[in-house]
Amino acid sequence: MAMVEISYDKRNNETVDKYCDCGVYGRNSILEKASGVVALPKGDPKGCGSDPVYNRNSSSPPWIALVKRGNCTFSEKINGAKRQGAAGVVVYNMDGSGNHTTHMAHSDATGIVAIMIGNFQGMEIVRLVINGTDVRMLIDLGSPHGLWMDTYWLYFLSIAFFIVTAASITYFVFISANRLYSLNAHRRTERKLKSEATKAIRRLQVRKLKTGDEETTSDSHMCAVCIESYKAGEVVTVLTCDHIFHKACIEPWLLQRRTCPMCKCDILKALGVDEETKESLSAESPPEVTVITVTGGEPMYEVPLTDPESPDPESHQHRYDNGAFDRDSMAGRR
């Protein structure tokens, strides 16, 4: 793009200064500044022929030729003006083309500033010059990096936008997939645990309380789920930790949590339900010793546990957590 600045004095000595980024340098133009007084060809405004004559004051040295497009090649017009000593050539577009400009090709006319401007702009200057106004013109490189910068930025922004969008979509897809996966895994685990709990519940000892049973006589015995004391005739479930609860109270609880509400012992572990290879065993008398093992390892030490109501929760924990091993060790001993 070429910046075109014109200035002239009106009759009342007021100076008019007009400026626009409306010129286009020719393909073979030198990309430099040029300035001077605008001169029109005598007669034909198109400035064709090898030696067109220009209407100009020979005392005003730098001058700019303003010619109309048409009749001959751009090169011919430019060379004609160049031969006459013009500092630059401005070609304005044909009538009816509005302010449209083209990127002139003039490979035979180089070494001079040559630009094209729109018809309206050209005609406006022509009228001023014909009326005897001295129009000074400055041609300069328009917005320095103009088109190139615009294109560069457009590419840069497009690529940046694309990368950001792609990254966001990838992230979103990844997060969604991850969530979906963990949700499914969680559901599967829940389902498995529930079915194991059902199995475990079936193996728990169930008793019907009779009049005179310790649980019905003492107020210190009550179901921790419903906080009611036991009455004769009620059905209770005995957990692996020997804690008893109403059968109707404890079963929904165990389905959900799989642990004793009193001591948190895990009935799945205690019954060995989570290790499907273990053979199911009928309820036996509570084991009197427990064997602590490391996974897959040898028995390490034995802890005698004679009192199931031992106040030490640690020993409870050991024993219940390893109920499955208890039975194994018992079986091995027998």
Q: Is the dihedral of CA 171, 173, 175, 177 positive or negative?
A: negative
- Binding piece for Zn ion, criterion CB under 5 A, among 9-17, 103-111, 265-273, 282-290: 265-273
What torsion, rounded to 10 degrees, do the Cα atoms 137, 143, 145, 147 define?
A: -100
Tokens of 6: 């014109």
The pair phi, psi for residue 163, each rounded to 5°, is -65, -45
Least gap, CB of 259 to Zn ion (angstroms): 8
Half-sphere exposure of 30 (CA within 13 A, CB side): 9
- Total interface residues for Zn ion by CB under 5 A: 11
Say whether residue 260 binds Zn ion (CB under 5 A): yes
Least gap, CB of 307 to Zn ion (angstroms): 14
Residues 233-252 that bind Zn ion (CB under 5 A): 241, 243, 246, 249
What is the SS3 assignment for 31? coil
Least gap, CB of 260 to Zn ion (angstroms): 3
Give whichever of 83 and 208 is closer to Zn ion, judged by the CB atom. 208
Alpha-carbon gap, residue 132 to 158, rounded angstroms: 51
Give whichever of 40 and 244 is closer to Zn ion, judged by the CB atom. 244
Residue 288: what residue type? E
Tell me the C-alpha to C-alpha distance, in Å, between residue 26 and each of 18, 192, 248. Answer: 22, 80, 97
- Indicate the DSSP class of residue 109: S
Least gap, CB of 215 to Zn ion (angstroms): 12
Q: Which of 222, 263, 281, 292 binds Zn ion (CB under 5 A)?
A: 263
Say whether residue 225 binds Zn ion (CB under 5 A): yes
Give whichever of 67 and 241 is closer to Zn ion, judged by the CB atom. 241
Binding site for Zn ion (CB under 5 A): 223, 225-226, 241, 243, 246, 249, 260, 262-263, 265
